[in-house]
Amino acid sequence: MKLKDLAARLDCRLDGDGDLDISRVSGIEQAGAGDLTFVANTRYLGVLRTTKATAVILGHDAPAPPCAALRTDQPYLAFARAVALFADSSRPSPGVDPHASIAADVVLGDAVSIAPFVSIGAGARIGARTILASHVSIGPGASIGEDCVLHAHASIRERCVLGRRVIVQNGAVVGSDGFGFVPLTDGTYEKIPQPAIVVIEDDVEIGANTTIDRPAVGETRIGAGTKIDNLVQIAHGVSVGRNVMLAAQVGIAGSSTVEDRVILAGQVGVAGHLTIGQGTRATAQTGIPNSLDPGSFVSGYPAVDNREWLKSSAVVRKLPELKKRIAELEERVASLEAHLASVASPDERRGSRE
């Protein structure tokens, strides 16, 4: 594609020769001749000077590169769209593979694409243009919206509901039984049935091998626009708001509420029955045992304010030194006390013992 055409399609200002040919999009460190790359993060500006790319997407303030530039206010977004322009946009043909198993009363929307070994239970509905890859399992009575993509081995259990444009990566499970048991007096546990459902709103993405449990009563809900990475655990009865980001291996225990625009980094854990206020952020591996006010920024285990945690962590490293300084202080104070006792007048010494 000519660089001038790319500039037009990405709504960027072109600095350089518009007739250059671009054949793919690459990372800044790997880019070579014919490649378009980008710098959205100032940390990579240093690499920019030596890039071998043919063109680079840049913010308006970034320094001039040694190649052509596409300038924009939002270089990361322009990069995303450039990737889309060069990606193979082929999608599977509409149609139902003869190796699929679809119950008689299933309602299939127009132009659905159903791969081999897909199983769809009685009473389920599949929205128009939705793609079900191989080995997808749709339980009885489940409802999948329009324009969804479910990758191989995704499971949507009975009666669960997915909105429109939901993407489910491989092996993810929606609607497995919540972990609910009543301890009996003999030390065994009785299972609490988990018949209620999971609702996934529009534009959600669910990562590979992530699990989202159904509850006994009420519902488990993932709000519109929320993105969930791989191997995340969402327990029964959890309510996740809109435009939330949950990184890989996060775990959220039962009945907690995660409000809109929360961002949890990798391996964060949230205890049960909490409310994590709007816009809260937690750094990786944070353990959250209590509810958090909107706008919190937390770290550590148990979670505390991030700045406080940074300060405490710095001191933790110095603890052996601090312990030594305390012991030294004790010696010096004891020495001072002994000295004062020895120089005190007999009257004082007698007095100090009364």
Task: Report the nearest approach of a second copy to the CB of residue 177 (Å).
Answer: 6
For residues 282 and 303, the answer to whether their CB atoms sit within 8 Å is: yes
Instruction: State which of residues 339, 349, 350, 351 lies at the interface with a second copy (CB under 8 A).
Output: 339
For residues 218 and 241, the answer to whether their CB atoms sit within 8 Å is: no
> Choosing from 60, 135, 153, 236, which is the catalytic residue?
236
| 243 is a site residue for a second copy (CB under 8 A) | yes
User: Segment near a second copy (CB under 8 A), from 11-19, 51-59, 123-131, 340-348?
Assistant: 340-348
| 256 is a site residue for a second copy (CB under 8 A) | no
Task: Report the nearest approach of a second copy to the CB of residue 231 (Å).
Answer: 5
Tell me the C-alpha distance between 279 and 87, whole Å. Answer: 33
Tell which positions 24-83 bind a second copy, by CB under 8 A. 24-27, 30, 37, 43, 74, 76-77, 79-80, 83
User: Segment near a second copy (CB under 8 A), from 3-11, 22-30, 46-54, 63-71?
Assistant: 22-30
Tell me the C-alpha distance between 226 and 239, whole Å. Answer: 12
Tell me the C-alpha distance between 206 and 219, whole Å. Answer: 18
- Kindly report the number of other CB atoms within 10 A of residue 125's CB atom: 18
| 104 is a site residue for a second copy (CB under 8 A) | no
The region, left, alpha or beta by phi > 0 then psi within -120 to 50, assigned to residue 237 is left
Total residues in contact with a second copy, by rule CB under 8 A = 121
Tell which positions 142-181 bind a second copy, by CB under 8 A. 151-153, 155, 157, 167, 169-171, 173, 176-177, 179-181
For residues 18 and 1, the answer to whether their CB atoms sit within 8 Å is: no
The dihedral sign for the CA sequence 116, 121, 122, 128: negative
Catalytic site residue 273?
Answer: no
- Kindly report the number of other CB atoms within 10 A of residue 69's CB atom: 25
User: Segment near a second copy (CB under 8 A), from 7-15, 64-72, 104-112, 302-310?
Assistant: 302-310
- Single-letter residue type at 231: L
| 192 is a site residue for a second copy (CB under 8 A) | yes
| 312 is a site residue for a second copy (CB under 8 A) | yes
For the chain, the C-alpha Rg in angstroms (whole number) is 30
What string marks each residue from 194 to 233 as x (binds a second copy by CB under 8 A) or -?
-x-------x-x-xxx-x-x--xxx------x-x-xxx-x
Question: Which H helix or E strand runs over 337?
Answer: helix 319-343
Q: Which residues pair with 200 in a beta bridge?
A: 162, 222
Instruction: State which of residues 51, 269, 282, 292 lies at the interface with a second copy (CB under 8 A).
Output: 269
Task: Report H helices in 34-120.
Answer: 45-48, 75-86
Residue number with CB closer to a second copy (110 or 327): 327
Instruction: State which of residues 61, 104, 316, 353 lies at the interface with a second copy (CB under 8 A).
Output: 316
Catalytic residues: 236
